[in-house]
A and B are shown apart, each in its own frame.
Chain A
């Protein structure tokens, strides 16, 4: 059973860089037909897809965040990471990591999720 766990600072100052890591257990992030995503949810609001990284290391990003986002991976520790720069209060949210299993052309559902971590942007 694959498990995902987010970690990182819970408080980030405005204009700085938000950095989070997702540690995966029960499966390798560098093998198989999988994508590994980041999604966020401001308090009381809906979900927003941020982007994802494939087992090969290729990435896809939400166009509205693309200029500020980098998703990377550390295969030796079976982790993938999110960096979001120039943050503002609008980036305050619960951040989730999640997995997609690709079967044929079907490669867009999120079947396993981490529990989420709250990141607050404030001075």
Chain B
């Protein structure tokens, strides 16, 4: 089991949109619709932003959206705001009752 592949960093200006990719295999991301995304501020616990590929928990702004195509899932943040600056992690069911995370992406708001 190898970690899912995410870009180490992405950046965007306030008001713009950014997309973070999460690439796995047909044994994890591509094989199941159980991809979730987490936002983590420094020194804090992760917070769920998206689950089941594209479902937003209550309280998460609709600026956050998720999608999947083949073995790659994506998190898109539109109308970028300063407090979106954080680390983002994808996570997928990997079969055999196991879970796997991506390496994380640092989002910088310019």
Interface residues of chain A, those whose CB is within 8 Å of chain B, are 37, 45-49, 60-64, 96, 106-111, 113-116
Contact = CB atoms under 8 A, between A and B. Distances in A.
A114 B45 CA distance: 7
Contacts, number: 63
Given A106-B34, A106-B51, A113-B47, A46 B89 contact: yes
B3 A46 contact: yes
Given A46-B102, A49-B100, A109-B36, A96 B1 contact: no
A109 B89 contact: no
A46 B101 contact: yes
Contacts of B57: 111
B1 A64 contact: yes
Contacts of B31: none
A66 to B, nearest CB: 10
Interface of B: 1, 3, 34, 36, 38, 44-48, 51-52, 57, 89, 91-93, 96-104
B101 A109 contact: no
Contacts of B102: 46
A109 B98 contact: no
